[in-house]
Structure 1
Amino acid sequence: MKSILIIGAADAGKSTTAQEVCKKLKPTKVSKLDISEEKLINAEIENIFNNTFIIEVNGKLILIVAGATTEQGFKITFIIDVCIKLELNISFALVSMRSSERKEGFDTKNQLSSISNILLEEKIYKINEENFKNSKDWKNRIDKIVSLIKQNI
């Protein structure tokens, strides 16, 4: 499996970035991964925020960890284990993490690198513009991530 790691502070825009990437990928299916209950729930792209989702693009499943693992309280290795239990053949993962993980037992970067090939570590920051989605920085961020995913699924 290949992956991209989005790294940013609490309000840097990790979930917003994940949602916009998903919109650009135009998935044929969106599901929320209920980690505690170990089940999938039908969802819409607009639901992608501060949680974990599975999207289907070109017949491939992509894991979207829109909320940082520490915020959700689940290590990335546990999230992957749930996917395996549900027999989800994940082709790619887009994983969010906080700039500094202070929660004991969490080491998302190293845990992710032990189970996938991290193609990009994208350090993001909050774009302080009223229409940030029209900014060059925003468009470049989204285009870079979308392009890399498309090339690798």
Structure 2
Amino acid sequence: MRVVLQRVANASVAIAGQTVGAIDRGYLLLVGIADSDTQAELDYVVRKVSNLRIFEDADDRMNLALADVNGAILSVSQFTLYANTKKGNRPSFTDAGQPEFAELMYDKFNAQLAAAGFAVATGEFGADMQVSLVNDGPVTIIFDTDNK
């Protein structure tokens, strides 16, 4: 599982010009699933995202977690996180999870984040989406469960 987390002042995702998900302060998550991912990978990333302390406290130190700032999550599926660019100029996506499996895991991931108490907005799995964001910092963190 690969997740690119961006701390945002706000973010939204649109499909065919219609906004389908939007948040104010919080995290934009770009989520890639592999066929080898299990519940253990979901649990790991949910724990890391939930407890990550990258919001400034009163002393301007990254010391607060998402819950501490009443932040929200915008989760967007992105199979291209598994692009293999070793050969040629056209990336291969064979390492990305099969759509049926990846969608199931993506839905479970979002449900776990919601069960942890976060407001979770999403895009639409497999859709052509336009993502807009104001990266706050900028702060970008990459999680790859192959490198726990």
- Into which bin does the TM-score normalised by the smaller protein fall? 0.3 to 0.5
Greater share of residues in helix: 1
Structure with the larger RCO, 1 or 2 (CA within 8 Å, 6+ apart): 2
Q: TM-score, normalised by structure 2?
A: 0.34
Q: TM-score, normalised by structure 1?
A: 0.33
Greater share of residues in strand: 2
